[in-house]
Amino acid sequence: MEMEEAAPALAVVDARFCAADAASLAVAKTLSMSGSDFAVTDAATGALVLRVDGVLFSLRRRCVLVDADRRPVLTVQESALLLNTRWKVFRGDSTRRRDLMFTVVKPSVIPLRMATKVSVFLASNDAEQACDFRITGSYHDGACAVSLGDSDTVIAKIDRRFSVVSALLGKNTYTVTVNPGIDYAFIVALVVILDEMYYQR
């Protein structure tokens, strides 16, 4: 699936995460007590861009995405009622309803080993009749795309690097390409949720 050159600029989390040029990131899961820690680096320079820190001793699976200065950007939390099919993302280190930014939903009857089809709804989209973004492709085969709604407008590509060692350790590495003007913190949050959905079922 080809990246769309004309995809519009879009800041879901914050405009400071929208680069003028296409962003190429490496998202690597690191061994940790929580099992949900990631380091996000610039694929070209190796510079740390973001981190994801898992939260220990939580009733729900939760992690916090922080910037290079360790300031909380957003919190990702699994829904208590719909285990591993619905995840909510909040602003900063909050989990209050008023700070909800978007929700990520996977149909419970479709395992991610088959064709991947995950819907993303912005907080303002209460009815959830039509998704604001969609993740499609095949997570199992290592290639997914993020599109605007149900359109063919691709705003990011997510490729999973597979190896026997990484599979045994649950230590995945993703290559993420984000279109110019698209919020890469938003895309990183989607990568983390996909990883949680697939490996923590």
pLDDT in tens, the chain (201 residues): 444 444 557 899 999 999 999 999 999 987 655 556 899 999 999 999 999 998 755 556 889 999 999 999 999 999 866 666 899 999 999 999 999 999 999 876 655 566 889 999 999 999 999 999 999 999 888 899 999 998 999 999 999 986 555 555 556 789 999 999 999 999 999 999 998 887 654
Of 49, 69, 55, nearest in space to 176 by CA: 49
Structure tokens given for 146: 């993020």
Please report the domains of the chain, with CATH numbers, ordered by start residue: 19-200 (2.40.160.200)
Q: How far apart are CA 157 and CA 144, in angstroms?
A: 6
